[in-house]
Amino acid sequence: MGFSLPLGFFFFGATVLWETVAACGYQSCPATKPDMLNVHLIPHTHDDVGWLKTVDQYFFGVRNDIQHAGVQYILDSVIPQLLADPSKRFIYVEVVFFARWWRLQTEDMRQAVRQLVAEGRLEFVNGGWCMNDEASVHYSAVIDQMSLGLQFLKETFGECGRPRVAWHIDPFGHSREQASLFAQMGYDGFFVGRIDYQDKAQREVLREMEQLWRASGSLNPPAADLFTGVLPNGYNPPMSLCWDQICSDNPIVDDDSDENNVKNIVAYFLGTAAAQAKHYRTNHIVMTMGSDFQYENALLWYKNMDKLIKHVNAQQLSGSRVNVLYSTPSCYLWELNKANLSWSVKYDDFFPYADGPHQFWTGYFTSRPALKRYERLSNNFLQVCNQLEVLAGARANLGPYGDANSSRLREAVGVAQHHDAVSGTAKQHVTNDYAKQLSAGWDACQTVISNALASISGNKENFMYCTYLNISVCPLTEASETFMVVVYNPLARAVGWNIRLPVNGTHYSVLAPGGQSVLNEVIPVSGFTQAVRRDRGGAINELVFQASVPPLGYTTYSVSRLHKKDPVRTRLLKRLQRQHETEQRSIQNEHLRVIFDSSTGLLKEIQNLDKSISLPVSQNFFWYNASTGDMENHQASGAYIFRPNNSEPFPIAKGAQAYHVKTQVVEEVYQNFSDWCSQVVRLYAGQPYVELEWTVGPIPIQDGLGKEIISRFETNLQTAGLFYTDSNGREILERRRDYRATWNLTQTEPVAGNYYPVNSRIYIKDKKVQLTVLTDRSQGGSSLFDGSLELMVHRRLLHDDERGVGEPLLEPGDYYNGLVVRGRHLILLDTTESSAQQHRLLAQQEFMAPQLVLAPGGGPPYLPGQDNLKQFSALHLALPSNVHLLTLAQWEPDSVLIRLEHQFERGESVNGSMPATVNLLSLFSSFNITSVQEMNLAANQKWEEMKRLIWQPAKGAAVWPSSDRSLDPTHIELQPMEIRTFLTHIQYQPKPGRGF
């Protein structure tokens, strides 16, 4: 650290060829027979990062009464098998388990494993902390969890630990963004296990099981091109050939015995291989020899595969043209690449996934909505923690509040991305454990953030965190006469942010850092909120004001309760508490007016006053009656599967009882639909969106019916069957009702078969007007008739859907009477032309929202010259509004990881979609950057060394000339949707940062 380099350091001309590094990778692949059908046996285990058991229970083999599974024994058992025979191969996937195992090994064992990895006998594939879900994850957390796992492999095994192949054999459908991210992480190919049954049947016939996936509409090919193969049998072995101790298929008996079955098994195997080869294009096929938590006793598998290989290959002497071998996904991929074919190109995604006519896996898009929100919020908090760890340096980790770092939260958020975690498909006790691990991560990051704030501001306060603000619980603000509110903004542009704090007083003074008083209002805590929080808090009012926060920094507000008697204010509050009927039927701010129906109390119309747009919009909550199975098909709705028993949902109520609150900072309509469903419609002063804060639950089930709750918007927009959903929070995909881009769909479920993942937004539009709904977590959504859109917000079900979790989705909630969920939908009404500009910025503000840190007392006075005390920005200048500071994090061993992202798609916004340029060296005021190395997206390979396999697209697909990119850190160009990743060294300024 702390060296300075000549300018020339930044320009890398030389290219290092990975081939020369070691005998791992494609060089270590087994020999194949070009004139035969080569069957690649892939010994593998699929180790869920929590599902029926917790991560720790799976690792150690605890609770084998639930499921026999112990990951430690798998690695213990496989390694000696590999050491004993150089021809044997094994792949390992989930780094959270491997890293755990590695820490417990002796140096001798580690050395032996390093050797296996160096020779390609033990190969890592995928290599993320977990195998993440694709339907309910946000790209920010996916990049982080992949980087975390890959970083471990890089540190531990160097270049030979770098996976060449992405491997998502179990996630329930595949997003296009995931493929794009994998391509940008340098993967050569991708294998998946689950695609729609109709899609698969057609691909088998057309031999399109393997394709080139062009996974971005903005990035120039081949940047987001990813060779993608659909595995023949999910991730399981062919029928009757499962030789794990948990299987009951016969072993191969080749001794002199009545049980000798060699002839039969060889004949069966040859038949199976020939049938499979018909669906694939080359003389190479794969068989996945393993499954969930297999290889705890690896000898059984290997001994039988040894015999299989021996007896099948022995047939070659009598003319068989089939050659079986131990292999890995990358060695199979290598053969496909060498085949030098041109591959058809896929542009859409693999959603929704159905494994039968009434079996759409679209329920998990919404399942466990509270965990889905907690995961998103935790990633938000992690980014803040990461940033402050960099901005304060070592003093964030060792400080007055204790020793802590961000890794606990980073690992917990990584685990939460698993395809049974954030997806909502784990058992309840496992879900509780995910939340518990996240919570422990929050504790550590709170210490980090307190240390960092004390260090940056030079002022140690008794920092506190109120994590129940969404239900108006915060003991400090409720009880204190004076307190400080530190608002930290993780975005690299200034934001205005509405603060709502539970209080007991009726009058407050809020002072900005310079001593100016800030407009604020006091509003009674609603009955809805009191019903949710129950005995957890007693505040009677909420203090509301708008904070304005500089880029990558904070502003501190001082709040004091005033004891003056203000008859007007007191009367207003009294009236607000009573007011259940309102004479006024609309709310309004500078930009928008929202009109309600006077007889039903429902939303009726939204007007954009700036653009003179009026759109009739009605909104209401409905419930689908969950199927319990019927005559046609026994499939019930469950944690994975959404299957309503009728296409028509029932309104929870025909109308809402409403009352109205009008203040200078916010205007609201409180709508009560039933004793378990309510909503607040809000317009904050100056904000260009309508906020709908919905509260749903406990969903009643006394009538014996499972219920799936939606919020539905109806308009008169002519949408011609089209609607739009985001892919993991980034690019937007066009959806068409009852249609799939790649095959001729036979629609069997008119509702569930039209549901898609909504990670951050869904919209409908006509030529002029667009209605966009932003979500605060992942949900399922659709547009089931023209002009409408709907989002599923909550579900409570009485039956298991028989996909393994073995529990109905009956979340108990804090009081064991059913889960209550509260969330927000942000509505934008704008011209179709300028909507992207709005929803991109607003969605960014949602997933990287400002964080509040509180402290009792008035805090230090504002002192000119001591700028950081109350206000701080770590930037010299805000980033252009189309550029996002995606990552600012400490990175091992002594680097800082920085990602800059162009957050617009090509052509979606006149201004936003323009290329952007950033001077990285003059961006930060808190530190100097002394060296810069551009990396691939996962930061595990130098950018200039990323040489992916080249795949030829079939005729018709556009090809771009490859562009050479040199790195000039003073002039970093970003094209639409481009993310650039930099590993830097930094040197702190004598006085960190500056006041803003």
Ligand X SMILES: *[C@@H]1O[C@H](CO)[C@@H](O)[C@H](O)[C@H]1NC(C)=O
For the record, the structure tokens of 844 come out as 């960014």
Based on DSSP, count helices (H) and strands (E) in the chain, helices before strands.
17, 47
Q: Tell whether residue 134 is a contact of Zn ion (CB under 5 A).
A: no
State which residue, 94 or 177, has the beta carbon closest to Zn ion. 94
Cα gap 543→666, rounded to integer Å:
11
Residue 540 makes contact with ligand X by CB under 6 A: yes
| Separation of alpha carbons 975 and 164, rounded Å | 26
> Which of 77, 477 has the CB closer to ligand X?
477
Measured from the CB atom, is 421 or 773 closer to Zn ion?
Answer: 421
DSSP bridge pairs for 620: 712
Cβ-proximal residue to ligand X, closest one:
538
To the nearest whole angstrom, how small is the minimum distance from the Cβ of residue 192 to Zn ion?
A: 12
Q: Name the one residue in this structure whose structure tokens are 């991109």.
A: 840
Q: Which is nearer to Zn ion, 237 or 688 (CB)?
A: 237
Interaction partner, residue 112 (ligand X, Zn ion, none; CB < 5-8 Å by kind): none
Give me the least distance between CB of 226 and ligand X, in Å please: 56
Q: Considering only residues 860-889, where is the footprint of ligand X by CB under 6 A?
A: none
Question: Of 419 and 796, which has the nearer Cβ to Zn ion?
Answer: 419
Other CB atoms closer than 10 Å to residue 673's CB: what's the count? Answer: 23
Closest distance to Zn ion from the beta carbon of 131 (Å): 7
Query: Are 725 and 732 within 8 A, CB to CB?
Result: yes
Nearer to ligand X, 561 or 611 (CB): 561
Three-state DSSP class for residue 81:
helix
Q: Which stretch binds ligand X (CB under 6 A): 246-254, 533-541, 905-913, 988-996?
A: 533-541
Give the β-pairing of 895-902 and 883-891. Answer: antiparallel
When CB distances are held under 5 to 8 angstroms depending on the partner's kind, the choice from Zn ion, ligand X, none that residue 538 binds is: ligand X
Q: Which of residues 469-488 bind ligand X (CB under 6 A)?
A: 478-479
Q: Segment near ligand X (CB under 6 A), from 375-383, 515-523, 532-540, 604-612?
A: 532-540
- The partner in contact with residue 170, picked from Zn ion, ligand X, none with C-beta cut-offs of 5 to 8 angstroms by kind, is Zn ion
Distance CA 956, CA 939 (A): 33
Which range, of 41-49, 218-226, 662-670, 825-833, touches Zn ion by CB under 5 A?
41-49
- Locate tokens 């109120």: which residue? 466
504 binds, among ligand X, Zn ion, none (CB under 5 to 8 A by kind): ligand X
Stretch that binds Zn ion, among 84-92, 136-144, 164-172, 583-591 (CB under 5 A): 164-172
Nearer to ligand X, 475 or 860 (CB): 475
Using the rule CB under 6 A, give the single segment among 285-293, 423-431, 536-544, 983-991 that binds ligand X. Answer: 536-544
Q: State how far the Cα of 162 lies from the Cα of 154, in Å rounded to an integer.
A: 6
453-486 burial: b if 16+ Cβ within 10 Å, else e: bbbbbebebebbbbeebbbbbbebbbebeebbbb
Tokens 């930094």 belong to 986
User: 520 pairs with which residues across the strands?
Assistant: 545
Mask for 919-938, x = binds ligand X (CB under 6 A): --------------------
Residue 578 CB, shortest distance to ligand X, in Å, is 17
Q: Which of 825, 822, 808, 619 is nearest to 707 (CA)?
A: 808
* Interface with Zn ion: number of residues (CB under 5 A): 2
With contacts defined by CB under 6 A, how many residues of the chain interact with ligand X?
Answer: 6
Asked if the bond preceding 893 is cis, omega within 30° of 0, the reply is: yes
Comparison of 70 and 524: residue with beta carbon closer to ligand X:
524
Residue 218 Cβ vs Zn ion, minimum distance, rounded to whole Å: 31
Residue 478 contact partner, candidates ligand X, Zn ion, none, CB within 5 to 8 A by sort of partner: ligand X
Q: Pick from ligand X, Zn ion, none: which does 786 bind, CB < 5 to 8 A by kind? A: none
Beta strands in 25-76 (DSSP E): 37-43
Indicate the length of the chain as a whole number. 996
Does position 355 bind Zn ion by CB under 5 A?
Answer: no
Is residue 48 a contact residue for Zn ion (CB under 5 A)? yes
In the bound state with ligand X, the residue whose beta carbon lies nearer, of 9 and 468, is: 468
DSSP assignment of 435-497 equals HHHHHHHHHHHHHHHHHHHHHHHT-----B--TBGGGTB-HHHHH-SEEEEEEEE-SSS-EEE
Is the CB of 42 or the CB of 285 nearer to Zn ion?
A: 42
Per CB under 5 A, does 170 bind Zn ion?
Answer: yes
Cα 129 to Cα 871: distance, rounded to the nearest angstrom:
37
Q: Which is nearer to ligand X, 565 or 955 (CB)?
A: 565
Burial environment of residue 319 by CB neighbours within 10 A (0 to 12, 13 to 18, 19 or more): exposed
Q: What distances in angstroms separate CA 815 from CA 428, 532, 533, 534, 820, one per listed residue?
A: 15, 10, 11, 10, 10
Stretch touching ligand X by CB under 6 A, among 136-144, 321-329, 534-542, 706-714: 534-542
CB 480 to ligand X: min, Å: 9
Minimum separation from the CB atom of position 573 to ligand X (A): 13
Q: Which does 48 bind (CB under 5 to 8 A by kind): ligand X, Zn ion, none?
A: Zn ion
Q: How many CB atoms lie within 10 A of CB 501?
A: 25
Q: Which does 846 bind (CB under 5 to 8 A by kind): ligand X, Zn ion, none?
A: none
Q: Does 439 participate in binding ligand X (rule CB under 6 A)?
A: no
Min CB(567)–ligand X separation in Å: 20
Q: Does 538 bind ligand X (CB under 6 A)?
A: yes
Task: Report the alpha-carbon distance of residue 427 to residue 409 in Å, rounded.
Answer: 22
**Site stretch for ligand X (CB under 6 A), options 274-282, 537-545, 548-556, 804-812:** 537-545
Q: Contact region for ligand X (CB under 6 A) — 423-431, 538-546, 616-624, 847-855?
A: 538-546
If we measure between CA atoms, which residue out of 695, 718, 826 comes closest to residue 767? 718
Site for ligand X in 49-88 (CB under 6 A): none
The crossing angle, in degrees rounded to 10, of helices 298-314 and 262-277 is 80
Contacts of 568 (CB under 8 A, 6+ apart): none
> Residue 895 and residue 939: Cα distance in Å, rounded?
11
Active site residues: 170
Q: How far is the CB of 680 from ligand X (least distance, A)?
A: 21
Q: Which residues contact 801 (CB under 8 A, 6 or more apart)?
A: 363, 635, 636, 637, 638, 639, 640, 641, 643
Q: How far is the CB of 464 from ligand X (least distance, A)?
A: 14
Among 504, 657, 832, 866, binds ligand X (CB under 6 A): 504
DSSP 27: G
């942010």: which residue's tokens?
Answer: 497
Q: Least Å distance between CB 505 and ligand X?
A: 9
Pair 414, 455: CB distance under 8 Å: no
- Residue 595, SS3? strand
For binding to Zn ion (CB under 5 A), which residues are involved?
Answer: 48, 170
For binding to ligand X (CB under 6 A), which residues are involved?
Answer: 478-479, 504, 538-540
